[in-house]
């Protein structure tokens, strides 16, 4: 079913995409790297558009693929493409998926989901690593389902609990700086929401935003100069630039609380995080229900992560003189 024109289109796409995330080290392959054993003869063809390569999104993609392979084996094939942080490349990828008439599309991160949504209103689309679907899809009346060909999983940790973690870790701090990319709507949502909780905890809060990876170091320096501690939400550009952030923050001796584990490992001291692999696996199980069981995606509720874990990096905590209370699990820096 629907197989013959797919290989040529995929090759054309792979040849046209460009890898670029300036100054941030590892950003992955614009043509999708592994390609996950693409097999045009498989019964189910699934296109995966991942916004950028970093630990969290990579884990979500792997979990998604593993879930479907566990259930379908060789009956499923993946066309995995990485947009190298570029929203327009996400659009190109998703348009090709639609041209190839794939059976399902995964949008890994907000820009990828938005591109898939713009590309088709008929092929089932699942999102993962999405903070807030209402924000991502510009929906004012959110009920837990989209009512269209879109569902998926959210990586949003409870922001009120993250604010409490910041208070117990940095009780003497007065000024909290929030760093994020201004072009990522879900980061804006997280910053706005957690600001209220942090102010309730008695902090003065200020946002410091960068427009792309080229501004990360300068913005981080400004935040460190004016803040006692830093908060970084689940921001994809920041996640790809943790080395640049850490270089500045470590020299300034300013602690960072991160919205997810990958950012924490790269530049943070602690996090309240989820397992992105588990999140992706849950999304893969949803895909199986759609492809095999015929579940109507329009009525599928967006699912949350199964659990959240307090984590900290002992070496950074020691360097910064931070006493970590009981209840935090140790993790190691990248």
For 235-287, how does the pLDDT look when each residue is reduced to its tens digit (9 = 90+)? 999 999 999 999 999 999 999 999 999 999 999 999 998 999 999 999 999 99
Give, in order, the Cα–Cα distances in Å from 234 to each of 7, 63, 106. Answer: 34, 18, 19
pLDDT at residue 6 tops 80 = no
Phi, psi of 242 (to 5 degrees): -65, -30
pLDDT at residue 3 tops 70 = no
What confidence category does residue 141 fall into, taking pLDDT thresholds of 50, 70 and 90?
A: confident
pLDDT at residue 22 tops 50 = no
pLDDT at residue 211 tops 50 = yes
Tokens of 104: 């399902």
Please state, as a whole number, how many other Cβ atoms lie within 10 Å of the Cβ of residue 137.
17
**Mean pLDDT within 125-149:** 93
Burial of 207 (0-12, 13-18, 19+ CB in 10 A): middle
Does the pTM surpass 0.85? The reply is no
What confidence category does residue 9 fall into, taking pLDDT thresholds of 50, 70 and 90?
A: very low
Q: What is the pLDDT of residue 38?
A: 64
For 67-97, how does the pLDDT look when each residue is reduced to its tens digit (9 = 90+)? 999 999 999 999 999 999 999 999 999 999 9
For 295-307, how does the pLDDT look when each residue is reduced to its tens digit (9 = 90+)? 999 999 999 988 8
pLDDT at residue 315 tops 60 = yes
pLDDT at residue 18 tops 60 = no
Q: Can you tell me the distance from the alpha carbon of 325 to that of 315, in angstroms, rounded to the nearest whole number?
A: 15
Q: What is the pLDDT of residue 40?
A: 74
For 42-51, how does the pLDDT look when each residue is reduced to its tens digit (9 = 90+)? 999 999 999 9
Kindly give, in sequence order, each residue whose CB lies less than 8 Å from that of residue 48, ignoring residues fewer than 6 positions away.
Answer: 32, 36, 61, 64, 65, 78, 79, 80, 81, 105, 106, 108
Please state, as a whole number, how many other Cβ atoms lie within 10 Å of the Cβ of residue 88.
10
**Mean pLDDT within 188-204:** 97
Distance of CA 18 to the CA centre of its chain: 20
Q: Can you tell me the distance from the alpha carbon of 142 to that of 124, in angstroms, rounded to the nearest whole number?
A: 19
């Amino acid at each position: 079913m629907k197989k013959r024109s797919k290989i040529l289109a995929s090759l054309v796409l792979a040849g046209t995409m460009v890898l670029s995330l300036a100054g941030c080290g590892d950003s992955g392959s614009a043509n999708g790297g592994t390609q996950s054993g693409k097999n045009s003869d498989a019964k189910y063809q699934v296109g995966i558009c991942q916004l950028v390569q970093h630990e969290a999104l990579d884990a979500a993609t792997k979990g998604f693929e593993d879930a479907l392979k566990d259930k379908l084996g060789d009956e499923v094939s993946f066309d995995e493409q990485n947009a190298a942080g570029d929203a327009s490349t996400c659009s190109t990828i998703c348009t090709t998926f639609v041209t190839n008439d794939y059976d399902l599309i995964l949008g890994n991160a907000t820009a990828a989901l938005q591109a898939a949504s713009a590309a088709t209103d008929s092929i089932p689309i699942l999102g993962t690593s999405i903070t807030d679907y209402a924000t991502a899809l510009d929906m004012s009346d959110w009920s837990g389902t989209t009512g269209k060909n879109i569902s998926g999983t959210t990586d949003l940790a409870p922001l009120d609990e993250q604010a409490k973690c910041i208070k117990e870790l940095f009780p003497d701090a007065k000024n909290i700086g929030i760093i994020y990319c201004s072009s990522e709507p879900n980061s804006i949502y997280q910053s706005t929401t957690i600001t209220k909780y942090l102010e309730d905890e008695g902090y003065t809060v200020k946002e410091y935003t960068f427009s792309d990876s080229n501004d990360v170091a300068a913005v981080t320096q400004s935040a460190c100069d004016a803040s006692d501690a830093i908060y970084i939400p689940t921001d994809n550009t920041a996640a790809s630039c943790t080395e640049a952030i850490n270089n500045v923050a470590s020299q300034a001796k300013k602690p960072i609380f991160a919205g997810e584990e990958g950012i924490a490992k790269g530049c943070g001291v602690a996090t309240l995080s989820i397992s992105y692999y588990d999140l992706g696996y849950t999304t893969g199980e949803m895909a199986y229900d759609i492809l095999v069981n015929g579940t109507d995606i329009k009525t599928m509720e967006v699912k949350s992560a199964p659990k959240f874990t307090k984590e900290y990096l002992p070496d950074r905590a020691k360097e910064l003189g931070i006493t970590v209370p009981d209840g935090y699990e140790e993790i190691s820096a990248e």
